[in-house]
Copies of this chain bind each other. A is one copy, B any other.
Amino acid sequence: MLQGHQSWIFRNKPVILSSAAVGGPFEAQGNLADDFDLLYGDIWLEQDSFEKAEKKMLEDACDTAIKKADIQKGDINFFLAGDLMNQIISSSFSARTVGVPYLGIFGACSTSMEGLALAAQLVDSGAAKYALAGTCSHNCTAEKQFRYPTEYGSQKPPTAQWTVTGAGAAVVASSGNGPRVVSATVGRVIDMGISDPFNMGAAMAPAAVDTIQAHFRDLQITADHYDIIATGDLGQVGHAIAKDLFKKHGIDVPENKLTDCGLLIYSKDQEVMSGASGCACCATVTYGHLLRRLRAGEWKRMLIVATGALLSPLSYQQNESIPCVAHAVAIEQ
């Protein structure tokens, strides 16, 4: 139910019955390779287009999550998914395969937590017994659509980020064993006038800070409440800005508690400029790595703050700045 102006407290603490993360060959060379359920050797996934490969990843993540939850597809009431592709085709075509009632969502790279928050809200309020949340991204589909086909080999500035090839999914249920979703905060759209699509981290950082601030205010808590706070995909540039903004706004978030999925997934040897991004960044790191550590008892409470840049190539071409949003979900073991 509503807590404060823009947050939900989930009184029945919906359970993340299972989660799954799948990734591409580049992700297999990263820091978190062991936390993926499935790593593909071929960036095409033996499909005849990158878009079909992206769709297949989301289907595989959903399949894996459903199997791990030990339920049937037919048990799932609603599938909530979205992605970066025009008209979220990866999600809609996956929904055709999964075959359960479908709610398409879009929050760019914040989609993972928008989906998990809504899935938890539906389960918590008795509007669903089982809800499946998922999202995906593919480096080559995103580059092709938002910038240039990767085959061109175009150069990028150091503020740019590397779109993760992967997919993540989670089954949320009213009962069972697993980490529990206890609250969520839906973000406002924040636009500080940044218009450089090669500097998404800087554009998204204020949205992450705004949502975290709203979360603390609505729940009347501080950063002390959490063992770890992970933003979605701010990268080095955005992460540094977020830390500065917390200081400026007088919000105490200890450095050792604040991390960013975009800084965790790849190794230092991988040339990803400012870090990772894409819908699959926060999704795979959360559903693979972070939940594994929570389940292992390393942390008791974590806050995931997925960040999204809501631009399109066309809005950029029309000289618009980049509106951003962040959605936060609190998970407890």
List B contacts of A313 (CB < 8 A).
86
Q: List 22 A-B contacts (CB under 8 A).
A: A1-B125, A2-B126, A8-B127, A51-B314, A51-B318, A82-B106, A84-B87, A85-B312, A86-B86, A87-B311, A87-B315, A89-B310, A89-B312, A89-B315, A96-B191, A99-B188, A101-B187, A101-B188, A102-B186, A102-B189, A104-B310, A121-B125
List B contacts of A121 (CB < 8 A).
122, 125, 127
5 closest Cβ contacts across the A-B interface?
A: A125-B125, A92-B310, A87-B312, A1-B126, A6-B101
Nearest-Cβ distance from residue A178 to partner chain B, whole angstroms: 20
Q: How many residues of A contact B (CB 8 A)?
A: 56
* A114/B125 in contact, CB under 8 A: no
* Residues A88 and B106 in contact in the complex (CB < 8 Å), given A78-B186, A129-B2, A314-B51: yes
Cα(A49)–Cα(B312), bound, Å: 15
* B52/A318 in contact, CB under 8 A: yes
Cα(A222)–Cα(B95), bound, Å: 28
Does A128 make an interface contact (CB < 8 A)?
yes
List B contacts of A186 (CB < 8 A).
78, 101-103
Task: Say which residue of B84, B93, B96, B127 sits within 8 Å of A2 (CB atoms).
Answer: B127
Instruction: List A residues 96-135 near B (Cβ within 8 Å).
Output: 96, 99-108, 114, 118, 121-122, 124-129
List B contacts of A87 (CB < 8 A).
84, 86, 106, 108, 310-312, 315
